[in-house]
Chains A and B, each alone.
Chain A
Amino acid sequence: MGFDSLVFFCSEALTNLRRAGVMTFVTVSTIAVALLLMGTFLLATMNMEFFLDRLQEEAMVTAFLVPGTASDRVSALKLQVTGFEEVSDVTVVTPEAAARELFTDPADQNLLQIGLGEGNNPLPYTIRMKVRSAADLPGLLAKLKAMPQVESVGYGEEAFRQFQGLSQLLWIGSVLVIILLGLSSLFIVYNTVRLTLFMRREEVVIMKLVGATNWFIRWPFIIEGFIHGLLGAALALVLLLFGAPFIMARLAALVPFFTFDLAAAHLFKLSIKLCLMGIVLGISGSLLSLRDLNAFGREM
């Protein structure tokens, strides 16, 4: 495509957008509403993922050593674990300290005097550590479990699994919503472009008469689809970015332990995703409507 042709296509597209004012408004609004809903779900999923990552990062991994492990062996193990690149902070908890933690209630302190004295404390040495990032957790768990002195490893997996399940559910829900909304808005965009094409039928027939290729006819419509998608995404983003803090504040009030993140990097990613989705919607709607151009002009 030459530069003159590109300028011609763009000017055609802009003229057509202006002329078909109502149609343009309908298409852009449809894409905007669909993207607003998709964006809300994406935002919720992104927050959930962020929350889970933080949960994993803040979780303490506890390695329970085999009962009877000697204290010098424990010190050696601590040194070894400290050397792991996945670990950021290591603490050794002696059986006595573990017992004291276990019986924090003053009433239970007496048990320490009665049954859990020197020599008959059944609690093992434990090594507690923090992971540097959530992604390091599986690697660290594998390493710890492979150590013969480690009897078992705990990291609050139950709560974590529940959140992960919730996150997966939200993710599946988002994908479904995105597909359904995508298809329905694609259908509306398709019909709108079809109507515009019908309005410009005479023009298309004349274009074909003077030797225009199908792609020559399609390009202005594709550029229109691109602009529709971009405008729809921009509108959705404005609404989402103004509305999101309000929605997040309401959600934070409902679920106090949940932290909601609206960091600039995340919002930038979301904006890019929505713009791309808008453009794909606009262009594919146009392309779908223009697939049977060869039939045009038969009834001339």
Chain B
Amino acid sequence: MIELQNVSKIYPNGVRALNDVSLSIPAGDFVFLVGPSGAGKSTFLRILFREEIPTEGKVMVDGKDIVGMPDGRVPYLRRNLGIVLQDFQLLKRRTVAENVAFGLRVIGAPENVINARVQETLETVGLSHKRRMFPDELSGGEQQRVCVARAVVNNPLILITDEPTGNLDPMISLEIMQLFLDINARGTTVIMATHNHHLVNKLRKRVIALVEGRLIKDEPGGTYAYE
């Protein structure tokens, strides 16, 4: 599903965010990406959805080489990916349902399909009763659930999440985590960058640790420790 071969990323200011990283993530896997701030976790994820291009190495996603992919093909790559970031990234002037529908509109889905899928996905994240509300009228946890709904509304192959519980309290974090586990149980590969060691230690999923851009641990059923 995802394969990185000797991937390095050096930013124009000279910062080496990733250093010769090679790994493979099969379909349906659940992976925690851990490491201190500045370890290269976000760069790793951004490379997966082609927001960054590695300086060296090869990246295959769903059998496609995304490093040499023309810019015009990137939107089609992203349609197979669900992306959830820490800072919610919701459209403030649109309702919950409109925010979720956005993921389907961009791929030109017909209106009846959009309505059905939005309703179904909002029920999955437990927000169908708040479909007409605006993001500012929701709690942080609810806003993040809307983001998750938008990310999974078109059944992505891979869900990429960068600190999705970073702004949430422990109880709400668990709720969001349960959503990711449910989505993973349906066959979606989930890659989650996190600092939440309680979650990582409790769930015992595959753990990949990055420190100063280097892959220092890749452990199935691992814990948060990377020192």
Instruction: Please report A residues at the B interface, Cβ cutoff 8 Å.
Output: 2, 4-5, 8, 19, 202-203, 205-214, 216, 294, 297-298, 300
Q: Does B51 contact A (CB under 8 A)?
A: yes
Q: What residues of chain A lie closer than 8 Å to B108, measured between beta carbons?
A: 2, 4-5
Chain B 77-102: CB-based contact to A (< 8 A → 1; otherwise 0): 11101010100011101000000001
The reply to whether B51 and A210 form a contact with Cβ atoms under 8 Å apart is: no
Count of chain B residues with Cβ under 8 Å from any Cβ of A? 25
The reply to whether A207 and B102 form a contact with Cβ atoms under 8 Å apart is: yes
Q: How far is the CB of B149 from chain A (nearest CB, A)?
A: 12
The reply to whether A211 and B107 form a contact with Cβ atoms under 8 Å apart is: yes
The reply to whether B91 and A206 form a contact with Cβ atoms under 8 Å apart is: yes
Q: What residues of chain B lie closer than 8 Å to A5, measured between beta carbons?
A: 105, 108
Other-chain residue from A8, A211, A297 in contact with B76 (beta carbon distance below 8 A):
A211
Q: Does B137 contact A (CB under 8 A)?
A: no
Q: What residues of chain B lie closer than 8 Å to A2, measured between beta carbons?
A: 108, 110
The reply to whether A4 and B89 form a contact with Cβ atoms under 8 Å apart is: no
* A202 CA to B105 CA, complexed, in Å: 17
Instruction: Please report B residues at the A interface, Cβ cutoff 8 Å.
Output: 49, 51, 71-72, 75-79, 81, 83, 85, 89-91, 93, 102-103, 105-108, 110-111, 150
Other-chain residue from A205, A210, A214 in contact with B102 (beta carbon distance below 8 A):
A210
Q: How far is the CB of B61 from chain A (nearest CB, A)?
A: 13
Other-chain residue from B51, B111, B150 in contact with A297 (beta carbon distance below 8 A):
B51
* A298 CA to B78 CA, complexed, in Å: 15
The reply to whether B106 and A210 form a contact with Cβ atoms under 8 Å apart is: yes
Q: What residues of chain B lie closer than 8 Å to A300, measured between beta carbons?
A: 51, 85
* A253 CA to B77 CA, complexed, in Å: 70
Assuming the contacts A4-B108, A205-B89, asked whether A211 and B51 have C-beta atoms less than 8 A apart, the reply is no
